[in-house]
Amino acid sequence: MDGAAYTQPLWVPGLSIGVGTHNVVFVATQHDSLYAFDADTSPCVTYWKANLLDTLHGGTSGERPVVWTDVGYCYGDIYPEAGVTGTPVIDPLTNTIYLVSASEIPGASSGNCSLPPGSYYHRLHAVDITTGNEQPNAPVTIAAQVAGTGDGSSGGMVTFSSQLHHQRSGLALSNGVVYVAFAAHEDATPYHGWLLGYNAASVKQQLSVFNTTPNGIRGSDGGIWGGGGAPAVDGFGDVYVSTGNGVFDQGSGMSLDNDYGDSVLRLNPVAGNTPNGANLALAGWFTPYDESALEQNDTDLGSGAPIVLPDQTSGLAPHLLVQLGKEGVIYLIDRDNMGQFQPSNNNQIVQYFGATGGFWGTPAFWQNNLYFAGAGDVLKQFSFDPTTGQFPCTPQPCSPSPASQSNQVYGFPDVSPSVSSQGPSNGIVWAIDAGLYGYTSPNAGTTNCYQVPVPAACTGPAILHAYNAANLATEYWNSTQAASNRDRAGNAVKFVPPTIANGKVYVSTRTEVDVYGLLPN
C-alpha cells in the first residue's frame, strides 16, 4: 500500500467485481487511499484503488494528506501524514463503504508545529465497493456548529475545526444513519468530542450533531477516541460512546452546563434541538466517581470503546455494557439505568473492578467471556455469569480472577483481540502485539525513540498470536515461530484488531496488509 493502514481490514463475501464473483478485502491508508484487494488470491490482485483527494472524490487542487507537523503537538503520534484513520463501515445492501478522509492545502508557514495557517478538510465519502467511485450525493465536507461557550467566543456558538480535530474512532451505521466521531490530534487544545450523523442514502444531509463539552473552558476537550473502536449501537438504535479527559460539570454541587468529560453516554435519536446539539438526546450516562483525577492525570475513560453485551434473560439487568479505559478498571453498566455520577464510589453501577494496565481499544466478548490485554499486562479471559449478570467473585465487593491468561506480556498499546470459532466451539483468540510500533519499543531504553521518523531500532513487525479461547495459556501459533521470518508481518501500527474470515486472518501494518491461512499439507 502507499501508506500506513490504521484501519481494520473489512471483508465482503461473494462480490460481483472484476471478472466473476470474489471475496474482497477493503483497506484505507493514511495517504488517503482506499484499496479493494482479492481476499484469497495469491499473488495479490488489486481490483481498484481510489485516491480520495482527486476531483472525482471531492478533492481540490493542491490538497494532500495532513502533514504531521501541521496538527497536534508534533509528537508524531501518526506520521508522516494523517489521512484515513477511523475504520470505515460497509452497507452490503447498497454495496457502499463509508469513510472519512483528512487533508490540507498548506499555508505559507506550514510545518512548524504551531497550528500553521492553511485550509483543512474532513470529508465523509460514500464509495461504491464494486468500482471505487463515489455514490450520488457524495462526498460531503464535514462541518458542524452547536450553541455553547466552550470556545470562548462571544457569539455563543461552538464550531467544528478540521485542523483541531481527528477522526480516530471507527464509523458506525445504524437505521440509515452513518455516525462519525471526533477527538483531537495528540490532545492539542482547543477541541471537543463530536458525534455527527449523516443520511446513508445521501451523505450531504447531516441528520444529527452532539458535542460532548459545549460549555467548558479552554475548548473543553472530552474527545471520542475509542482507540480504533467504533460507537456501539443497541437493538433500540441508541448509540453509545465514551469520552476522554475533559470538563465534567454534571455532578452534585456543580453548575449544570452539559459537559461530559470522562463519561459513557447513551444517545437517543430524536427530533429537535438539544443542550448538546440537534437530533441526538442524552438518554443516560455514567461518570466514575474519580473523574477529577482522571481529568488531571490524562487517564482517559474513553481511551477504550464501549461494547454492548447480548441481552440477558436473568441476572441484575437485561441490558449491559462494558467499558475499559486508561485507568485499567472494568465497568459493567446497566444501559437502562447507567448511574450518572456519585462522588464517593461507583456503587450505583452493576460492577466495577481493577483488572489491567491502561487500555486502548475494544475488548472481545464470546460465549460469556471477555478478552483483553492492558498495556504491560498479559491477555486475560474473564468469565461472565449470565445467571447473576456479573463477573463472579465472592464475597462482593471483590475483584474477579481471570479464568485464564496468556504467558506473553503485551506492552503499550495493548491488545484489541478478535475471536473466531465454529459456532460455540473451537474458539481462537487472535491478538496483535504492536509493541514495536514506535516510541514505546523495548529498545526505547537504549535509543532515543522519541523522534520522527522513528529510528529503525524502535520499529518492528506486528506479531500475530493465536490462543485457545478456553485457555489462553495455550498458544497455538504466532508469526515469529517459522524459520527465516516466513510469517513476519509488516511494521506495526497502533490500535488495529485483526480480521478473521473464511479461514484467513488479515492484519493491517505500516506498509501492507498481511494475509494468514493454513499451509497446505
pLDDT number for residue 430: 98
**Residues 6+ away with beta carbon under 8 Å from 485:** none
Of 9-23, 325-339, 398-412, 445-459, give the lowest mean pLDDT range. 445-459
CB 159 within 8 A of CB 151: yes
Max CA pair span of the chain? 71
pLDDT number for residue 58: 97
The closest alpha carbon to 498, from 433, 442, 424, belongs to 433
pLDDT number for residue 357: 85
Q: Is the pLDDT of residue 444 over 60?
A: no
Distance of alpha carbon 421 from alpha carbon 279, whole angstroms? 39
Residue with cell 464535514: 142
Q: Is the pLDDT of residue 288 over 90?
A: yes
Distance of alpha carbon 1 from alpha carbon 463, whole angstroms? 19
DSSP string, 294-314: HHHTT--GGGB--EEPPPPSS
Q: Is the pLDDT of residue 446 over 90?
A: no
pLDDT number for residue 457: 77
pLDDT number for residue 108: 67
pLDDT number for residue 395: 67
* pLDDT tens sequence across 295-314: 999 999 999 999 999 999 99
Q: Is the pTM of this model over 0.75?
A: yes
DSSP bridge partners of 147: 157
Is beta strand 340-341 parallel, antiparallel or unpaired with respect to 277-287? Answer: parallel
Q: Is the pLDDT of residue 454 over 70?
A: yes
Distance of alpha carbon 49 from alpha carbon 51, whole angstroms? 7
Q: What is the mean pLDDT of the chain?
A: 92
* pLDDT tens sequence across 97-155: 999 999 999 886 666 677 788 899 999 999 999 999 999 999 999 999 999 987 765 56
CB 174 within 8 A of CB 92: no
pLDDT number for residue 399: 85
User: Could you tell me which residue, 377 or 520, shows the higher pLDDT?
Assistant: 377
pLDDT number for residue 73: 86
Distance of alpha carbon 330 from alpha carbon 365, whole angstroms? 13
Distance of alpha carbon 19 from alpha carbon 481, whole angstroms? 37
* pLDDT tens sequence across 212-252: 999 977 667 999 999 889 999 999 999 999 999 999 998 77
CA-based radius of gyration for the chain:
22
* pLDDT tens sequence across 309-337: 999 999 989 999 999 999 999 999 999 99
* pLDDT tens sequence across 351-406: 999 988 899 999 999 999 999 999 999 999 999 999 999 999 876 667 899 999 99
Q: Is the pLDDT of residue 453 over 80?
A: no
